[in-house]
Amino acid sequence: MVRLGQNFLADPNLLDAIVRDAELRDDDVVLEIGAGEGVLSERLAEVATHLHSVELDRGLEHALAPLASRPNVSLHWGDAMRMDFAVLRPVPTAVVSNLPYAVATPTILRTIEQLPSLRSWTVMVQREIADRLRSAPGSRTYGSPSVLVQLACEVRLVRTVDPAVFRPRPRVESAILALRRTGPGADAATRELVRAAFAHRRKSLARSLEHGRPGSLGPAREALEELGLAADARAEALSPDDFAALSAKLRSSA
């Protein structure tokens, strides 16, 4: 059965491929979110200097007992959406996970924000999420997660995954997504700006901001024009770099 929304990988060839795709170094400290029955975890523990493995479902405690006994593994029981990843020691340098699909996007965003030490992510997600996080400006699927992830990372689709490799078989398509850090990512002010800008997609960016920030309509329009963008541009027309520039411009003129 599916435990807490998780589908378990049942194909050893794919599990081996995920580890290869991660291109881990001997000194990498890996963070795995959603250990499941430990089949990917065991492979990661073989190649990483240390593995932090997070699992919410205590019903899997017996299955994960061999993993927990490894000297280079720290097994953390709890909700990844409530964990303070910044306190993990040794500090993680890579995420490799079959992410619980219901929280895949917020989990990726939280690790980008809380763990500047991370240089890469190799994650199994829904195909829809993979497409959204790597989508370009103007795309129907381009939104605040796309911008926030791309401000910190280069995003690449590694491979699509047949539903038959899961137990039980999911109703959605899956994909392995690779993220490579290219910068620190959005600061708090930019994250707030991006989310507010996409909150009302049918409105212009400036009017969307005005809903949450009364009095911001004029300054937002002026800032957009100063950046060479249309005053009535919608959020989906701006690139991630445009958002970073707009955030800086608004702060400097405040």
Helix or strand run (H / E) with residue 75: strand 73-77
What is each CA distance from 26 to 38, 45, 72, in whole angstroms? 20, 11, 13
Instruction: Please tell me if the domain spanning 8-181 has the same topology as the one spanning 188-253.
Output: no
Rounded to two decimals, the pTM is 0.93
Name the DSSP letter for residue 6: B
User: 90 near 50, Cβ under 8 Å?
Assistant: yes
List the structure tokens of 27: 């000194």
Per-residue pLDDT of the chain (254 residues; tens, 9 = 90+): 344 456 677 788 999 999 999 999 999 999 999 999 999 999 999 999 999 999 999 999 999 999 999 999 999 999 999 999 999 999 999 999 999 988 999 999 999 999 999 999 999 999 999 999 999 999 999 999 999 999 999 999 999 998 888 877 777 889 999 999 999 999 999 999 999 999 998 999 999 999 988 999 999 999 999 999 999 999 999 999 999 999 999 998 76
Q: How far is residue 152's CA from residue 181's CA, in Å, rounded to a whole number? A: 6
- Is residue 223 within 8 Å of 253, Cβ to Cβ? yes
User: What are the structural domain ranges in the chain?
Assistant: 8-181, 188-253
Q: What is the pLDDT of residues 141-157, one digit of tens each?
A: 999 999 999 999 999 99
**Tokens representing residue 150 in the block:** 């791309």
Contacts of 164 (CB under 8 A, 6+ apart): none
Q: Say whether domain 188-253 belongs to CATH 1.10.8.100.
A: yes
Contact 243, 190 (CB under 8 A): yes
Query: Residue 5 is inside which H or E element, if any?
Result: none
Structure tokens that stand for 111 in this block:
């690790």
Domain 8-181, CATH among 3.40.640.10, 3.40.50.150, 3.40.190.10, 3.40.50.1820? 3.40.50.150
One DSSP character per residue, 154-209 reads EEEEEEEE-GGGEESPPSS-EEEEEEEE-S----HHHHHHHHHHTTTTTS-HHHHH
The rounded radius of gyration (Å) of the Cα atoms in the chain is 20
Q: What is the SS3 assignment for 236?
A: helix
